[in-house]
Amino acid sequence: MTPIEIVPGVRWIGAMHPDLRIFDDLLPTRRGTTYNSYLVGEEEFAVVDTVKGIFAEDYISGLSGMVDLNRIKAVVVHHTEPDHSGSLGALLDRVPKATVHMTKPGRLYLKDLLNRPVEACTIDECTEISIGDKTLRFIPAPFLHWPDTMFTYLVEDRILFTCDAFGTHFSDERMFDDLVDDFEADLELYYDTIVRPFRGHVLAALEKIKDLDVRIICPSHGPILRTDPARYVEKYRKLATLDDHPRPYIVLIYMTAHGNTGRMVQAVAEGMQQLDVEVDVLHITEVDDARVRRAMENADGLVFGVPTMVRDVPPPMWHVLSLLSTVQLRAKCAAALGSYGWSGEARTFAEQRLKDMRLKVCEFGLRKKFTPTEESLQECRKFGEDFAAEVTAGE
């Protein structure tokens, strides 16, 4: 580990993981990631978060070569997910007298993550601490990105440590946003895949920090944001704010192997347009996940066009249905429909998924084998009209 000075008395002491291509077996990382840990202080010290467990040995040996570990008085745990707490057990073994600062949920999780009790002063008990002449003020920021999460504001240096929020899976040893390669798309992907399900909590956290004078944002992944941090705050605000849809917004997402489900969906959309609603029809081959998530998040009503293939929902549509849990839904009702050739199970499987997502399902009564007739398309138009009426009821 090679420390990087951020300002006098504040150093980055994290780990670089540039060759990582899938984070947590889940998310693509074009340029790997970093696990950002920070060291605050000059005579006595606070460690802010740790690094993934596979880097523990290098992390602890680097830290012990840098400072007398007996002078570490505090360990701040913003969030207990193992990419940040993976080296915490090894650190605590070496600094048994340091006080751990974290939230109550964090303390609860840590017990089962480390499989040992951890003494901690929770932020309800210690709202701020002093390390030499530096003041660390703790700010709860739940669900960014676990219920345990908090921020820390370093008052004298106007640095905000934000853990996952404002993070990026992007490894560049130059570390500062004004020095590294362009990472804007990676920052947006990170928001989209990690932070987006907690949209409301993002806005709540931004409200809490709105009066802070922030000179530098130090997240737990990727570049340190010292160039116009307010721009990143505004970017998060924009990403977390719903689009402006003056009329009820209904989204139809479909796949269609032979065009039949597509024709049914178009007919449903025609029926909806008889009412004063905005209708957005998305063909899954023409939209990426970010577009689908944004549409789902904004939708007042959701309809899925799902053909049956080999007695099931086809994999691309299962993927779309899986995205329902990656956004904060506000839709009043949802439906699934589709053409089939043999048995037609996909619609009921998709409906069950919608129910599992606590959506009210408007059941589509029509079962049409293979090619829809003009009569069945007319039934689709009628269903679209009824669905739109349900969405607009009480508006």
Point out which residues bind ligand FEO (CB under 6 A): 79, 81, 83-84, 145-146, 164, 220-221
CB closer to ligand FEO, 163 vs 335: 163
What minimum distance in Å lies between the beta carbon of 220 and ligand FEO? 5
In whole angstroms, how close is the CB of 57 to ligand FEO at the nearest point?
A: 20
Q: What minimum distance in Å lies between the beta carbon of 159 and ligand FEO?
A: 19
Nearer to ligand FEO, 79 or 294 (CB): 79
* CB nearer ligand FEO, residue 84 or residue 199: 84
Nearest distance in Å: CB 98, ligand FEO? 22
CB of 21 to ligand FEO, least distance (A): 17
Residue with the two structure tokens 């899976």? 169
* Overall residue count recorded for the chain in this entry: 395
Least distance (Å) between residue 56 CB and ligand FEO: 16
Taking the least distance from each CB to ligand FEO, the nearer of 194 and 292 is 194
Q: DSSP secondary structure string, 233-256?
A: HHHHHHHHSPP--SS-EEEEEE--
CA distances from 113 to 38, 80, 87, 147, 381 (A): 22, 8, 11, 15, 53
Residue nearest to ligand FEO (CB): 81
Structure tokens at 199: 């949209």
83 versus 192: smaller Cβ distance to ligand FEO: 83
DSSP string, 163-197: ETTT---B--TT-BTTTSPP-HHHHHHHIIIIIGG
**Minimum separation from the CB atom of position 169 to ligand FEO (A):** 9
Separation between Cα atoms, residue 282 and residue 286, nearest integer Å: 7
Query: Nearest approach, Cβ of 194 to ligand FEO (angstroms)?
Result: 7
Q: Is 335 helix (H, G, I), strand (E, B) or coil?
A: strand
CA distances from 384 to 259, 268, 269, 309 (A): 18, 4, 6, 24
Q: Is the dihedral of CA 157, 162, 163, 164 positive or negative?
A: negative
Q: Which of 84, 263 has the CB closer to ligand FEO?
A: 84
State in Å, rounded, how far the first CA of the chain is from the last one: 58
Burial 265-289 (b: 16+ CB within 10 A, else e): bbbbbbbbbebebbbebbebeeeee
Spatial CA neighbour of 198 closest among 328, 356, 27:
328
Other Cβ atoms less than 10 A from the Cβ of 89: the count is 17
Q: What angle do CA 191, 193, 195 make, to 5 degrees?
A: 45
Q: Going by DSSP bridges, is the β-strand pair 278-283/249-254 parallel, antiparallel, or unpaired?
A: parallel
The smaller minimum CB distance to ligand FEO, of residues 100 and 267, is found at 100
Question: Nearer to ligand FEO by C-beta: 9 or 86?
Answer: 86
Strands 301-305 and 249-254 turn out to be parallel
* Nearest approach, Cβ of residue 84 and ligand FEO (Å): 6
- Quick one: 195 or 334, whose CB is closer to ligand FEO? 195
Whole-number minimum distance, CB 130 to ligand FEO, in Å?
27
Give 24 or 363: the residue with its C-beta nearer to ligand FEO: 24
Instruction: Give the residue from 266, 251, 218 showing the smallest Cα distance to 12.
Output: 218
Task: Determine contact, residues 174/180, Cβ cutoff 8 Å.
Answer: yes
User: What residue type is 132 in one-letter code?
Assistant: G
